[in-house]
Amino acid sequence: MVKICCIGAGYVGGPTMAVIALKCPSVEVSVVDISVPSITDWNSDHLPIYEPGLWDIVKECRGRNLFFSTDVEKHVCEADIVFVSVNTPTKTRGLGAGKAADLTYWESAARMIADVSKSDKIVVEKSTVPVKTAEAIERILTHNSNNGINFQILSNPEFLAEGTELKTFLSLTES
């Protein structure tokens, strides 16, 4: 069974992984986040975000092939494919303050992926990030990796709008 892990249980990671779990029932999908309240909400009847139709998909898939956890390292280690959907706020200081994306969370996620991986991985950037972020992430992964693990980096830019995300994503999977 293919295992997918998504780091980030927000407006991008949660709904995207729910649709993947719905459309690919033989794939195990884990959404991980360091935020205990967020993961608690994903595992409850009160999701942390509102997206029309999301509750029905989560209810159908959760516990079958869709899981939400704070055990980030375990699920990253076990995954074949790791999506990274972490926050990319605008920098508040330094070069690019007020304009450029702050990639601190991305860089931290890449270092952690490199540290805990025991097998080759496909790493997918699924966030609003600047062009060439994949190249920077590849450098971090290969520099910090042990044991000759290979990482393939893919870019899947986030383009969905809150409130219409599922409708758009489901229409893409039907074509």
The full DSSP string for 44-82 is SSS-SS--TTHHHHHHHHBTTTEEEES-HHHHHHH-SEE
User: Is pLDDT above 90 for 1?
Assistant: no
What number is the average pLDDT over the span 136-152? Answer: 82
Mean pLDDT over each residue of the chain, to the nearest integer = 87
More confident residue, 164 or 154: 154
For residue range 75-87, list pLDDT tens digits in order.
999 999 999 998 7
Classified by CATH at the fold level, domain 3-174 comes out as Rossmann fold (3.40.50)
Residue 172 has pLDDT above 80, yes or no: no
* DSSP-assigned letter for residue 163: T
Determine what percent of the chain is predicted with pLDDT higher than 90.
Answer: 54
What torsion do the CA atoms of 46, 29, 89, 151 make, to the nearest 10 degrees?
Answer: 170
Confidence of residue 10 (pLDDT cuts 50, 70, 90): very high
